[in-house]
């Protein structure tokens, strides 16, 4: 086992009120969004509806009243923040989503934090396009340009107890498999990959190891691409000049091809699940 302690720099989720986030903070502060104040930043989730709202609660109320969505929040309580983190991880894994921590406020009873679906909102070009063309493109397709109502309101009480209101219903995707390609790799997987890179394990070998980890439910890690790995390399400042990967052939479809026809193929299992018949 390796001893490398890898900290991913500048990667704490930095969600905005609309549930969008800036993953590339370096130039954000010097380029604030345009001055035309976005008073109603939350666009309804439903494609045929153009209503906009200021608060998530209004979106939920509208979806329930006018769009027959029947969205409800479930209350969950945890005795520690660690227990909450564990729940958050498994919730994200099981529902194929990423929650991004948004606004936070402190009141008498504790600290209230909001977590929004990472696909919610629009990707605003907040950095010069000349520098960030590639990243913007990557960010661009992960956003639905509407509000996904899935969110978590987390209250950490002074005694450490965490109470949560969880709105579990996503309206950001219809196809589970497609969704895998749109969410971020969990931090633990990114660190695992960065550890491999730090040990100079060749990318091909890393990709083989990833596929070996596939044992049941298909997860985001299993469709990791060379591009993902290059992004991690950059994020962890592990860049080495001899590594250039413009080839993004390790795409979702390539993985599907690789597994199709194999016995116990998780892709086949997936297809059975997704099939309407």
Give residues in contact with Zn ion (CB under 5 A). Answer: 44, 46, 49, 51, 117, 119, 148, 150, 170, 172
DSSP 121-138: B-----S-HHHHHHHHHH
Q: Is 176 left (phi over 0), alpha (psi -120 to 50) or beta?
A: alpha
Q: How far is the CB of 119 from Zn ion (least distance, A)?
A: 5
Q: What's the token pair of residue 27?
A: 């130039």
119 versus 143: smaller Cβ distance to Zn ion? 119
Q: How far is the CB of 144 from Zn ion (least distance, A)?
A: 8
Q: How far is the CB of 76 from Zn ion (least distance, A)?
A: 18
53 versus 192: smaller Cβ distance to Zn ion? 53
Residues 152 and 168: beta-carbon distance below 8 Å? no
95 versus 265: smaller Cβ distance to Zn ion? 95
> Measured between alpha carbons, how far is 47 from 138 in angstroms, rounded to an integer?
22
164 versus 172: smaller Cβ distance to Zn ion? 172
In angstroms and rounded to an integer, the radius of gyration of the C-alpha atoms of the chain is 20
First to last CA, the chain: 46
Per 3-state DSSP, the chain is made up of helix, strand and coil in percentages (nearest 5) of 35, 15, 50
Strands 73-78 and 99-107: unpaired
Mapped onto helix, strand or coil, the DSSP state of residue 162 is strand
Q: How far is the CB of 49 from Zn ion (least distance, A)?
A: 3
Q: How far is the CB of 81 from Zn ion (least distance, A)?
A: 23
Q: How far is the CB of 73 from Zn ion (least distance, A)?
A: 15
Q: How far is the CB of 54 from Zn ion (least distance, A)?
A: 14
147 versus 191: smaller Cβ distance to Zn ion? 147
Strands (E), the chain: 42-43, 52-53, 73-78, 99-107, 110-117, 151-157, 162-167
130 CB burial (10 A radius; 0-12, 13-18, 19+): exposed
5 versus 65: smaller Cβ distance to Zn ion? 65
Q: How far is the CB of 120 from Zn ion (least distance, A)?
A: 6
Q: What's the token pair of residue 139?
A: 């960010």
202 versus 274: smaller Cβ distance to Zn ion? 274
98 versus 113: smaller Cβ distance to Zn ion? 98
Return the number of other C-beta atoms located less than 10 Å from residue 163's C-beta. 17
């Amino acid at each position: 086992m390796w001893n490398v302690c890898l900290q991913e720099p500048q990667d704490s989720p930095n969600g905005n009120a609309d549930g969008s986030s800036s993953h590339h903070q370096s130039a954000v502060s010097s380029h604030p969004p345009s001055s035309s104040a976005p008073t109603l930043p939350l666009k309804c989730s439903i494609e045929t509806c153009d209503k906009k709202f200021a608060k998530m609660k209004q979106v939920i109320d509208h979806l329930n009243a006018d769009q027959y969505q029947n969205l409800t929040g479930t209350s969950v309580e945890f005795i520690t923040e660690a227990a909450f983190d564990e729940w958050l991880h498994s919730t994200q894994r099981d529902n194929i989503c990423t929650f991004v921590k948004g606004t936070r406020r402190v009141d008498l009873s504790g600290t209230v934090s909001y977590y929004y679906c990472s696909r919610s909102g629009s990707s605003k070009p907040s950095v010069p396009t000349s520098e960030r063309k590639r990243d913007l493109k990557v960010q661009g397709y992960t956003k639905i340009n509407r509000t996904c109502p899935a969110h978590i309101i987390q209250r950490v009480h002074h005694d450490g107890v965490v109470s949560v209101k969880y709105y579990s219903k996503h309206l950001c995707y219809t196809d589970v498999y497609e969704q895998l390609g749109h969410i971020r790799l969990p931090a633990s997987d990114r660190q695992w990959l960065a550890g491999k890179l730090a040990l100079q394990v060749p990318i091909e070998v890393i990709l083989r190891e990833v596929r070996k980890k596939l044992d049941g439910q298909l997860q985001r890690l299993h469709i990791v691409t060379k591009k993902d790995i290059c992004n991690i390399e950059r994020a962890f400042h592990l860049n080495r000049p001899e590594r250039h990967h413009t080839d993004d052939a390790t795409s979702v479809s390539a993985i599907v091809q690789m597994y199709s026809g194999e016995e116990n193929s998780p892709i086949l299992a997936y297809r059975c699940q997704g099939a309407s018949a």
